[in-house]
Amino acid sequence: MKYDIIVLGSGPGGYVTAIRASQLGFKTAIVEKESLGGICLNWGCIPTKALLKSAQVFDYLKHASDYGLTVTAFDKDFPAVIKRSRGVAEGMSKGIDFLMKKNKIDVIKGYGTIKPGKKIDVKAEDGATTEYSADHIIIATGARSRELPNLPQDGKKVIGYRQAMNLPEQPKSMIVVGSGAIGVEFAHFYNSMGTEVTIVEFLPNVVPVEDEDISKQFERSLKKNGIKVMTSSSVERIDTTGNGVKAFVKTAKGEEVLEADILLSAVGIKTNIENIGLESVGIATDRDKILVNDWYQTNIPGYYAIGDVVPGQALAHVASAEGITCVEKIAGLHVDKIDYGNIPGCTYASPEIASVGLTEKQAREKGYELKIGKFPFTASGKAKAAGTPDGFVKVIFDAKYGEWLGCHMIGAGVTDMIAEAVVARKLETTGHEIIKSVHPHPTMSEAVMEAAADAYGEVIHL
């Protein structure tokens, strides 16, 4: 079987790549060993948001009186919450199957291994292996939960994100190691459901990639919600011989022993680049990543790589953008390379976090003279009316030219607001242009305009 393009992996990088390739007239196939949509759709982005929605509804019920409502009886059904999440993921996966058929993309089920000569072997469940060839092979095999030697995952007492969204029953207590997006989202979900949660973070701040002001506000929110937070701490070893798990945590004050039903290891991801034939083809790698140029070509002609397996942010929307860029370049279109400095990052805990561009610390280290503005949601009419006044918007501008260097948000719904900053930065919009762009009232998005006005001493509602 000969194709123009074969994509190995059907996550948000792979399936988007395949669709765009088909739109451009390429005869396209996609190889997938599990479910269409990959980890993000089946075991990551989508089902976790379904879990978090259940947590939000449960929180509303718990605080109904704050809205003048009386709810006399309510409870959670943890297996039903999990079942709903899985149903959402399964429905989305079927949607990807529909898109493959609509775009006339051949779906090849099985484990793919690339070979020299722009070939790929696919081993089906029955053990039969079929060889396919293509003019272009695009690797989009994604990543999985990273295991540390001192935190081996057994899938029962020590788990990764995949088990965390499919537990048969709710644990009474949980230790979450790592406070990145995955760690804090699960911490929030289980805490909302009533699990006693402790977060252990090696670095001095939770959500350590965020602006320091955001990290500090978020840590206050975690503690306010009853989550124990241990920063500058590390789990040195664990003991799973008892009913639950014991974690021996090194802190600035000495060793502390934590006990819980389950420990969730959320210490990052490991790329899926083993046993897919890279060595036999001669594709270069470095530190767990496939090396590519600006158009995602590897060092071997005809082979490309996108998504988590290449350097750059390991985010679904990045993988999709990389795949589109890759196939448009193959098609000979004029393509701009991706600006990795203008990639939004989102964390869907409560409150949400969204950011793009430089943090204040990064901007100062680069030597910029700054104008910084902040607008708290406590001064937002929409936020107060909605009962979600926690958080703020922080904007960072270059004082000399007005360039929008960074935008950092924490609060309800900010993951839907950050796109304004991304588009504005893409268009090289200045702070004054944001101030003079009329924002609708009452909305959460007004806080962006007000924060920009604060940076220039023109804020109205603060």
Q: 13: exposed, middle or buried (C-beta count within 10 Å: 0-12, 13-18, 19+)?
A: buried
Q: Which of 264, 286, 304 is a domain's end point?
A: 264
The model's pLDDT over 189-217, given as tens digits with 9 standing for 90+, comes to 999 999 999 999 999 999 999 999 999 99
- pLDDT for the residue numbered 80: 95
pLDDT for 40 beyond 80 = no
3-class DSSP state of 350: coil
The model's pLDDT over 391-431, given as tens digits with 9 standing for 90+, comes to 999 999 999 999 999 999 999 999 999 999 999 999 999 99
Q: Is 441 a catalytic residue?
A: yes
Q: Which of 264, 282, 298 is a domain's end point?
A: 264
pLDDT for 45 beyond 90 = no
DSSP 439: P
Question: What is the overall mean pLDDT for the chain?
Answer: 95
- Domain span at residue 172? 158-264
Structure tokens at 353: 């976090």
99 and 122 fall within a common domain: yes
327 and 370 fall within a common domain: no
Model confidence band, residue 461 (pLDDT cutoffs 50, 70, 90): confident
Whether 168 is covered by a domain: the verdict is: yes
305 and 360 fall within a common domain: no
> Does 37 belong to an annotated binding site?
no
The rounded percent of the chain whose pLDDT value lies above 90 is: 91
> Does 192 belong to an annotated binding site?
no
- pLDDT for the residue numbered 241: 92
> Does 185 belong to an annotated binding site?
yes
Neighbours of 202 (CB within 10 A): 16
18 and 137 fall within a common domain: yes
18 and 136 fall within a common domain: yes
> Does 323 belong to an annotated binding site?
no
Q: Which of 188, 432, 439, 441 is catalytic?
A: 441
Number of domains making up the chain: 3
> Does 254 belong to an annotated binding site?
no
19 and 137 fall within a common domain: yes
296 and 260 fall within a common domain: no
The model's pLDDT over 79-119, given as tens digits with 9 standing for 90+, comes to 999 999 999 999 998 999 999 999 999 999 999 999 999 99
375 and 314 fall within a common domain: no
137 and 85 fall within a common domain: yes
Question: What one-character-per-residue DSSP string does 285-344 give?
Answer: EETTEE---TT-B-SSTTEEE-GGGSSS---HHHHHHHHHHHHHHHTT---PPP-GGG--
> Does 183 belong to an annotated binding site?
yes
The model's pLDDT over 135-153, given as tens digits with 9 standing for 90+, comes to 999 999 999 988 899 999 9
Region 306-324: what's the mean pLDDT?
96
The model's pLDDT over 149-167, given as tens digits with 9 standing for 90+, comes to 999 999 899 999 989 998 9
Model confidence band, residue 178 (pLDDT cutoffs 50, 70, 90): very high
pTM (global) more than 0.75: yes
Region 225-232: what's the mean pLDDT?
96
249 and 356 fall within a common domain: no
179 and 105 fall within a common domain: no
Region 352-374: what's the mean pLDDT?
97
Region 288-306: what's the mean pLDDT?
97
> Does 181 belong to an annotated binding site?
yes
**CATH number of the domain encompassing residue 289:** 3.50.50.60
